[in-house]
Structure 1
């Protein structure tokens, strides 16, 4: 696809900002080398980012007899970005500086059964007010708010949430937020927010073809092609969790029969535990979080019921990942989400073994499967990074002039 001047400018800005965030303090010449740009182009972009208050000069580096080089870093006093992670039982809000360091966080509870759009918007606004009041950030110092919604988000800013009992279909969430907050809003789902976080800060940095698989109550995939998020024709790419795994198998929460989510999402793992040992004390029928936590604790001491349950779950996940490898041929697959975080290496070991058995040799040898290495909330981080990407894409265009 032919790239416009604006496309190239955006890509170069991303490359420079990513490298400065990762390597600061850093000199312009080193940024140019890492980003694959000329020194002149790098200097131009750095000057632009400095004017936007995203970068600052923080000192000098001796250059072996020549003039000292000015060192750059993200401006700690620059504008703030907000990331919001909406889950089924909470709204988690974090405010970041231009280095995407967390400066403050707040969490608001959501009712597990009744969450109309107006109530969720109110919780988002309360969380934002809390973090900004704590830091005393004025409205004009906020670049924007990134919001991750657990479902599908259309290009028109309407959200459909597939959490049980929410009953959201084409809710105009962007418009509802615009009525309550004076900041630009970027909406997407946790699959793509987590993928953006991995591309900027995690295991996917420098990779072109990436799959980030989220394992939680629901299951899905965030995909990146040539280092950029792949949205699909209608912004619904990544519903890997609802691809078929077992003919005439279990039903997932959305009613799909035998899909990946029904076997490797938290409710599916609970069902697997019940199939292995119906009377197991590890099973807390009314609480999936408590059940997964109990399984994780039992795995750490070699409990045979827990081992059998996770071996079966890893088998299902391994087949589903082998299908992903054969179809998409990613360089790296990252497992993220609270279930992957709790079950960790135990689940990963069984998953890798099965995936190696069912994937084709050539794509398998070119694929790495790992757990998410980001040690903070990747969804709110990714949501805030979406704001950064949007700002870098639009800066200097007529929409911001």
Structure 2
């Protein structure tokens, strides 16, 4: 029962802080009305957050004739959060304050053949140290969230499997603990994008949502009942490795016909090669340049670009329809660098394809949108892992911030 009560209290902190970030400055009655929490619960949680410097008093508002209502605001100086996006080709770090203002950034390249665990950990640590040094002086760091591709054991801090790197059971947080002096939290890019959308984006306030990340790899973050669904071993959301084409293209995971091999960046490059092997849109070995040229070709009315986008959207729509039929979500959010680059055209064509494949009733309840988050969603979501970890720790013995 103690564990259950603590979990409920943590979930209530999340709701309250999420609302305070959205409406700051805000009164206690407004927080109670918006979150569904009682005024007594709000008062208790606000007291904790004031004591830890995460909220501050922000004056008063007219209450329409009665006593003025006290206002609360998120304290930008209440702590810094570090978000780390570890991708196949780079390490990107952003440091944000509690008002979500970016205080500093850093970037490290990961070259082909440089994916040995110790070397990647060194790159991550170098980028974190550089960004932390550039952040405002005197800002306490609440923690650092690390997003890595593949499957992870978030409690143990282990990268269980990363196909592109050949990683198996790499104790990543153990390697980083020797180099980074902050509390560390590990998860995957789709989960980072999901958390960012739940806290700050198109999934905010939705009970059932899917955030689909399209990049070099492909994955889905799932929210059921308003909270991330992780599965029995933190493996939920490997939608990119579900079968789309029986005995189709080989995939990095070792299987054939996976969604990722048709709608991830390498898969889109193959769509282009199969459509027009000699197309000037194709930049062999350069995913970002190829996707950029494809987007530009669509803007300029290039028929090959249009055909490739249409076929890619067809594969994507069929795979999204499976999510609609299986999960009946309120919203599906498309994010990731490929989705951002191909943008509304991909969205429109994918919606048309979903309509051809999904069952009518669940589809009628599902909105499919592009992410509107202005910040890097992976870094923002990873930083939010640190925020959630800090909020979960409040009230426990020894829960002070390092």
- What TM bracket, shorter-length normalisation? over 0.9
State the 1:135 CA deviation: 2.7
**Structure 1 unaligned residues grouped into runs of 5+:** none
Query: For the Cα contact (< 8 Å) 2:61–2:71, is it kept in 1?
Result: yes
Who is 1:206 aligned against? 205
Matched, 1:304 2:303: yes
Who is 2:370 aligned against? 371
Deviations 1:142-166 (A, max 9, x none): 11110001111113211145353x2
Who is 2:232 aligned against? 233
State the 1:66 CA deviation: 2.1
What's the secondary structure of 1:77's corresponding residue?
Answer: helix
Matched, 1:290 2:289: yes
Who is 2:106 aligned against? 106
Q: Distance in 2 between matches of 1:186 and 1:320?
A: 30
The within-5 A match list for 1:173-184 is 173-184=172-183
State the 1:13 CA deviation: 0.8
Query: For the Cα contact (< 8 Å) 2:103–2:134, is it kept in 1?
Result: no
Deviations 1:208-248 (A, max 9, x none): 11111111111111111111111111111111111111112
Q: Distance in 2 between matches of 1:358 and 1:108?
A: 42
Q: Distance in 1 between matches of 2:376 and 2:89?
A: 16
Q: Distance in 1 between matches of 2:138 and 2:174?
A: 22
Q: Distance in 2 between matches of 1:275 and 1:115?
A: 30
Query: For the Cα contact (< 8 Å) 1:93–1:105, is it kept in 2?
Result: yes
What's the secondary structure of 1:253's corresponding residue?
Answer: coil
Query: For the Cα contact (< 8 Å) 1:88–1:163, is it kept in 2?
Result: no
State the 1:313 CA deviation: 0.6
Deviations 1:69-108 (A, max 9, x none): 2221110111211111111111111111123322111111
Matched, 1:195 2:194: yes
State the 1:61 CA deviation: 1.2
TM-score when normalising by structure 1: 0.96
Query: For the Cα contact (< 8 Å) 1:100–1:385, is it kept in 2?
Result: no
What's the secondary structure of 2:76's corresponding residue?
Answer: coil
Query: For the Cα contact (< 8 Å) 1:218–1:266, is it kept in 2?
Result: yes
How many positions carry a matched residue from both structures?
Answer: 399
The within-5 A match list for 1:320-331 is 320-331=319-330
Who is 2:336 aligned against? 337
Q: Distance in 1 between matches of 2:125 and 2:162?
A: 22
Matched, 1:27 2:27: yes
State the 1:399 CA deviation: 5.2
Give the aligned CA root-mean-square deviation in angstroms. Answer: 1.7
Query: For the Cα contact (< 8 Å) 2:218–2:264, is it kept in 1?
Result: yes
| Runs (4+) off by over 6 Å | none
Query: For the Cα contact (< 8 Å) 2:92–2:106, is it kept in 1?
Result: yes
Who is 1:48 aligned against? 48
What's the secondary structure of 2:212's corresponding residue?
Answer: strand
Query: For the Cα contact (< 8 Å) 1:191–1:213, is it kept in 2?
Result: yes
What's the secondary structure of 1:4's corresponding residue?
Answer: helix
Q: Distance in 2 between matches of 1:142 and 1:289?
A: 33
